[in-house]
Amino acid sequence: MPHPDTPGPALLPGAVIGVMGGGQLGRMLGQAARRLGYGVVVWTPEDDPPAAAVADRTIRAPFDDAAAELAFADAVDAVTVEFENVSADALERLAARVPVRPGAAVVRATQHRGAEKAFLRAAGLPHAPSVAVDDGAALAGALATIGLPAVLKTAGFGYDGKGQVRLRGGADAAVDLAAAEALAQSGPCVLEALVPLALELSVIVARAPNGEVATYPVFENAHADHVLDVTVVPARVASELRERAQALGVRVAEALDLVGLACVETFVLADGTLLVNEIAPRPHNSGHVTIEACETDQFEQQLRAVCGLPLGATALRSSGAMANLLGDLWQRGTPDWEGALALPGLHLHLYGKRSARPGRKMGNLSALAEHPDDAEALVRAGRDALRRGGTA
């Protein structure tokens, strides 16, 4: 049975925050929680979770482990998530014991692309045309509806462009179709029209139990190989477009009845049309620069929303930029940390991951500057400096 959230009294410093998931987002949430005097208990199936280093206690067990669920419920005063692929059923049961923010319904609606599209459609929120592809047999009909170019995405557990096949027609049509058929046969998928992107923006929005909302200045994202590469804030677009993006973020949070913090990944088309791509009901990689750039960073803001504290000011102290550090950087040996840190104003964040597999998010650089172009130039220069080292 669903448990609707009720505002209740705020959870004050000293309370214990339960975090489902143990990645870098949980680690940075844990750092914020510790700074404000909260306890942190992490529940994750991961072997070597980055968040464990900042947790008072880490429960290492699968999300369907009943004993772990009981131990977690006993140990915490509220539950939140650091990624959406956790058990929504467990969240629903936990909500009988403690506030769960975001709630199970929000996690359910955002962890499955089919459910997410159904939510967007029902809420009248703009998104690329899409149809569910429940099995291999449904692909041809879906292609007839959506047309080309299109992108087939797995419904669950996709990230960083994994589990996606693009269908463009032309010379590679047969190869693309074979790959799409294989993906469709592997489990439920969604077929989306591939839309011509002018730009990708992130809108990060927090919503408190009493309905108070706060949005961040809009972030501009550049991807490389489908993985977020560089984020710049504020987005270098007309203020009118930024305001429309923020308003869209608020509409999403309200339609979801979100309590917590979410990132609305937004597509901008050439004519200025905004489309919701996907919703992450937790802090987002594009928001890491809020640690330096904003009055309140996204992790503290999540904590404030989860605890029912007043939301923090989101204003920019200055323009900023963030560059991701993927495992690839380690391929030629240890990156040149000293070379990068010699650059004035460059901030290094590492997530404490032991093995640097190519494509794995190991850390990020961030920088502030009066103009966003200069902040971007500094994080790019920092990453170049890291690459120049590594000759082992």
Tell me which residues touch Mg ion (CB under 5 A): 265, 278
Calculate the alpha carbon distances from 293 to 2, 209, 290 in Å: 38, 26, 5
In angstroms, give the least distance from the CB of 120 to ligand ADP: 13
Q: Which stretch binds ligand ADP (CB under 6 A): 51-59, 156-164, 245-253, 317-325?
A: 156-164
Question: Tokens 């309200």, residue?
Answer: 254
In angstroms, give the least distance from the CB of 362 to ligand ADP: 18
Question: Tokens 């791509």, residue?
Answer: 277
Q: Which stretch binds ligand ADP (CB under 6 A): 115-123, 189-197, 291-299, 326-334?
A: 189-197
Q: Are 221 and 201 in contact (CB under 8 A)?
A: yes
Interface with ligand ADP, residue 202, by CB under 6 A: no
Choice from 151, 165, 191, 346 touching ligand ADP (CB under 6 A) = 151
Distance CA(13)–CA(362), nearest Å, equals: 30
Choice from 69, 92, 116, 192 touching ligand ADP (CB under 6 A) = 192
Distance CA(273)–CA(292), nearest Å, equals: 31
Choice from 14, 62, 159, 173 touching ligand ADP (CB under 6 A) = 159
Residues 6+ apart with CB under 8 A from 75: 16, 18, 41, 57, 59
> Scanning residues 237 to 266, which ones bind ligand ADP (CB under 6 A)?
265
Closest CA to 186 of 137, 139, 136: 136
Q: For residue 236, give both structure tokens.
A: 């270098």
In angstroms, give the least distance from the CB of 116 to ligand ADP: 10
Q: Are 198 and 270 in contact (CB under 8 A)?
A: yes
41 versus 261: smaller Cβ distance to ligand ADP: 261
- Three-state secondary-structure class, residue 349: strand
Choice from 140, 197, 224, 342 touching ligand ADP (CB under 6 A) = 197
- Per CB under 6 A, residues contacting ligand ADP are 128, 151, 153, 158-161, 192, 194-195, 197, 200, 223, 226, 265, 277-278
